[in-house]
Each structure stands twice: as C-alpha cells, then as structure tokens.
Structure 1
Amino acid sequence: MRSGLAMMPVAYCVPGSEPRIVLSRGTLDVLDRGQLQAVLAHERAHLYGRHDLLLLPFIALAHAFPWLPAARHAREAVPVLLELLADDQARRAHGSLELAQAIGHMSARRDSAPGTMALAGPAAAERVERLLTGVRSRSRWVSPAAYLVGGLLLSGPIAIPLAPVWCGIP
C-alpha cells in the first residue's frame, strides 16, 4: 500500500547548489503530458528566478516585526505574487489552458501538504481564473521600470561612500 502523501499531487522545487524539482506519484498519475510540462516550466521558473531568495527578506521582516501589519501582509502576499510570476513563465512556454488544468487537477485532489507552497496553493482558484480569463501579465515596460527604480534607490547608499572621490576630496 502506498503512503497517502506520495499519492497526493504535489510539485515543488528544492533550490540550492543542485536544484531539484520534486513530483509526487499522485502528480504523475493525475496530469497528462502537456499539463506535466506546464508544471515543470512553472517550477523551473521558481528555480531560475531564485524565488526562494526573493521570499527570504519578507519572511525575516515578518519574524522581526510580527506586530507590524505591513510585514505580515507582505509575507502573505509575496508567495502568491511569486506563484503568479512563475505562472506567467509557464503560460508563455505551454499556454494558459494546460497550466490552468494542472492547477485545477492538483488542487481538487489535495487535502493539505504542510510545508509546501506548491502549484496548487491557497490562491489556486484566483490563479486559474487569471489564466483562463486572459488577464495579461504586466506591460513590457514594467520590468525595465522596476529595475530603473531599484537602481535609483540603490544609487543613494552607493553614492555616499563614493562622493568624496567624485568631488575630488582627498
């Protein structure tokens, strides 16, 4: 008899020096080939985007300031936003329908897998709706604008120690 956890459809990635994507037997049983490819593209997007590192500051902030509502809300919102980002990557590679069906199949067969923020998390219904209604991801100018704003924000702290050199102060 197989364990109940192995039969649940679960997909997640394990980042690190040798990143891995883990799929349960339940995932392999419930998804067809196209859906499985969409799930793999989604998990690869998490790995290549280093979403684990993007999430860490928000986890630390929530632990450091548990009484601060903004810290708690950010900790709750960022994982969902990272899922949407990975969805967008998988959508571009395999189409919206395949990924939406995979999320639907996986969320319909889940009870709860503690410690996993897998493909079918708490925002699964919203993600499927977003994929099926054709809500476009951000404009092509949003990423360059975000990098520009980030660069400008970082330029202040970098400029302070370099200011004496630029101004010719010995």
Structure 2
Amino acid sequence: MNAAPALLGYAAAVGVLAPRVMLRSAWPHRAPVLAAAVWFALAASFSVCVALAALHLATPGAHLHGILYSCGVALGVGPPGAGAVRFLGIGVAAAVPTALVAAFTYLVLRARVARSRHREVLDKVGRPSARLRATVLEHATPAAYCLPGRRSRIVVSSGAVELLSDAEIAAVVEHERVHIAGRHHLLLAAARSFAVVFKGVPLARQTGEQIPLLLEMAADDGALHVHSQRTLITAMFEMASAETVPKGALSAGGRTVHIRLRRILAPARRTHPAFRAVVAGAAVLMPLLPLLVACPPGLA
C-alpha cells in the first residue's frame, strides 16, 4: 500500500483547513502561549508530512515503514532496483528540512547583524538609565523596544519618558523583558522561515501573521503579572503611535496595539485547565501523526 495519497490529504487538511479552525476559535487570544505552540505544531506536522509524501511518491510499490526504509532504498542498502526516481524522492524530502533550517539561519543572522549595528548607534547617542533599567534615546515620538540576543537591551524614547508615568514606563519595560526572557526573536524567525519556505500555503501565511501577535499578547500577560491592568492599558494606548522599530527589534507599540487593547479590556475568560491539557497534548502528538499515516502500526 502506498501512503502518499493519505499523506497528501493530511497535508491539505493541515495546510488549508486547520488555520481556518484556529482563526475562527476564540481561545487562542485567551491562551496565547498555548496557541503559539499549536501553530508551531501544525507547521512541524505539515513539514514532516510533505517530506514523507515525497518519499512515498518515489517508492509507490513498497510497504514503507517510515523514513528509514525509504532512505535505505535510495542509498542502496534496501531492496534492489532503487533508481533515479527514488533518489529524487530523497532529495525532495531532504530539501524540506534543509530549506527550513537555511531560512531560519539566514533570518537569525540578518537580524543579529541589524541589532549589532543598532547597538553601536545606541552606544554613541543613547543614555543608560539605571532607574528605568533601559537605554533612553532622544526621540520625540513615544516608543519602546528591545534588542534581544546575547547583549540584550531595552530602549525607551525620551518622548515616552516625558509622556508616561514611572509605573507606566515600568510596565512597558517589563513587557520588553518578557520578550527577551522568552527568546521571542527566535520564535519569530522560525515562524517567518516557515512562511517563506511554504509561501502560498494558508497555514504558512497565517503562522507568519499570528505568531507575532500571540507573542505580543504573551508579553502583555507577563507585564500584567507585575503591573495593574489600568497601568498597562494607559501605557499601550500612549505607545500606539510607535509604528516602526529597528530591524531585529521587538516593540511594545505598533499595529497590533488596538487588537491587544480590546483583548485586555474584554471580560476575563480563562480556558479550562482540562481544555488546555488536551490541546497541549494534541500539540505534542501532532508532528508524529504523519509518521503514523506513513507507517500504520499494523504494517510495522
């Protein structure tokens, strides 16, 4: 039995239908960290499925028992008769993780270079503030952002310092600290690399759009653990005008502020612990499902 049709059907369901279900659901905004994990699980499951489908299309007459069998056939350690088609299948399958790793590496390195250049500018024109635990940059527009990485730094404009109270500035700084502690810049690079490699697939497009929003919501929740809702809302409202930030930086303002404000102002509704446990378990198992499709237990 050839599992390629089942794998392609699964890939279509995950790539097209799953993002629609996620976007129509209300719970992701109530549990942004869990929702981000689900988006990444869907992306991993789709990627594994595409790679396995290529292997199975290249070996249509065999009872395949996962990726090891197909690799053995293509490398000449399996049954005789492995030809160019099977080598092509291995090549296509290998291209999927290779392209994802290459895109991720490129985005991470490019952002690192941009942050390094910006740090050099900050060293010359910025003013370190021990009270704010941030670097103050002379700029009239209220803005705040962080430069993650090994030499992480939080930057606040002088306009924000003049406009916001000490408590509001502290809430903004805490928001940025959550970004740094959670290594959100790496998660953003992973989401963007998936969106680049599988450009045109609805799942890839929505992953690239939803992960940044969910990470901002997660940073808001982190700030709310330390500061009051009113303090954070006021700070976010004042920072809404900060539309652009340096490359490689993460900002407390920007285009998503209005969505995040509506979320915080909405009546508090938490997801049930049982629901969270089920969704978390599904996210863990999701990348393994294509392997079960490719090699059902009865054929192992």
TM-score when normalising by structure 1: 0.75
What is the alpha-carbon distance in structure 1 between the residues aligned to residue 182 and residue 149 of structure 2?
12
1:17/1:77 CA distance change after superposition, 3 Å: same
Number of residue-to-residue matches in the alignment: 153
Max Rg structure = 2
Tell me the equivalent position of 1:11: 144
Q: What's the CA shift for 1:149?
A: 4.2
**CA–CA distance in structure 2, aligned partners of residues 154 and 62 of structure 1:** 17
Q: What is the percent sequence identity of the aligned residues?
A: 32
Aligned to 1:57: 190
1:113 aligned to 2:244? yes
- Aligned alpha-carbon RMSD (Å): 2.7
Specify the code of the residue in structure 1 equivalent to 2:167. G
For 1:71, the equivalent position in structure 2 comes to: 204
Work out which of the residue numbers 221, 229, 237 in structure 2 matches 1:88.
221
1:33 is aligned, of 147, 166, 175, to 166
* Alpha-carbon separation, structure 1, partners of 2:263 and 2:151: 32
Structure 1 segment 113-132 matched on structure 2, within 5 A = 113-114=244-245, 115=247, 117-132=250-265
- Amino acid corresponding to residue 47 of structure 1 in structure 2: I
- Please give the alpha-carbon distance, in whole angstroms, between the structure 1 residues aligned to 2:255 and 2:184: 18
Unaligned runs of 5+ in 1: 157-170
Partner AA of 2:168 in structure 1:
Q
1:18: how far off? 2.2
Amino acid of the structure 2 residue aligned with 1:46: H
Distance 1:48 1:78, change over 3 A: same
Cα offset, 1:117, TM superposition: 4.4
Ranges in structure 2 where 5+ consecutive residues have no aligned partner: 1-137, 290-300
Alpha-carbon distance between aligned partners in 2 of 1:27 and 1:11, rounded to the nearest angstrom: 8
Matches within 5 A, 1:90-169: 90-107=223-240, 109-110=241-242, 112-114=243-245, 115=247, 117-140=250-273, 148-152=281-285
Find the residue that maps to 1:93 and give its secondary structure. coil
The amino acid across from 2:185 in the alignment is: D
Q: Give the Å deviation of 1:58.
A: 0.9
The aligned amino acid for 1:130 is: R
Deviates more, 1:95-104 or 1:132-141: 132-141
For CA contacts below 8 A with separation 6 or more, give which structure has more relative contact order.
2
13-22 or 147-156: bigger deviation: 147-156
- Cα distance in 2, alignment partners of residues 64 and 89 from structure 1: 31
Q: Tell me the CA shift for residue 49 of structure 1.
A: 1.2
**Secondary structure of 1:13's aligned partner:** strand
